[in-house]
Amino acid sequence: MLRHLKQLVSSEKGQALPIVLALLILGGLTIVPSLGYITTSLKSSRMLVEGVRGVYAADAGVEDALWSLINEVPPSTQLSDNVNQMEVAIQTENKGDYTLYLGELIEPGEHVNYLDVVGEMVWDGGANAYNYTISITWQADPGEPPIKLKEVGARIPIGYSYQSGSAANFPENLSTDEPDETLDAQGAYMLNWVLSSPPPEISENITARTQTFYITGEGNQEGHYAWVVASRADIGEVGEIAGTCYQITATATRPEDGKTTAQIVADIINELGTIYILSWQISN
Q: What is the pLDDT of residues 22-77, one digit of tens each?
A: 666 666 666 666 555 555 655 656 667 788 888 899 999 999 999 999 998 999 99
Is there a single domain that holds both residue 146 and residue 25?
Answer: no
CATH of the domain at 186: 2.60.40.1170
pLDDT for 5 equals: 45
Q: With a cut of 80, say whether residue 204 has pLDDT above it.
A: yes
d(CA 60, CA 111): 35
Q: How many structural domains does the chain have? A: 2
Q: Is residue 7 part of a domain?
A: no
- Identify the residue with better confidence: 234 or 29: 29
pLDDT for 92 equals: 95
Q: Is residue 1 part of a domain?
A: no
159 neighbors 222 (Cβ within 8 angstroms): no
- Identify the residue with better confidence: 204 or 278: 204
Q: With a cut of 90, say whether residue 1 has pLDDT above it.
A: no
Is there a single domain that holds both residue 170 and residue 210?
Answer: yes
Is there a single domain that holds both residue 230 and residue 166?
Answer: yes
Is there a single domain that holds both residue 107 and residue 216?
Answer: yes
Cβ neighbours around 243 below 10 Å, total: 18
Average pLDDT estimate for 119-131 = 96
pLDDT for 45 equals: 62
Is there a single domain that holds both residue 79 and residue 192?
Answer: no
Is there a single domain that holds both residue 158 and residue 230?
Answer: yes
Average pLDDT estimate for 126-141 = 93
Q: Is the pTM for the entire model greater than 0.75?
A: no
Is there a single domain that holds both residue 93 and residue 155?
Answer: no
**Domain of residue 248, residue span:** 16-102+240-284
Is there a single domain that holds both residue 112 and residue 98?
Answer: no
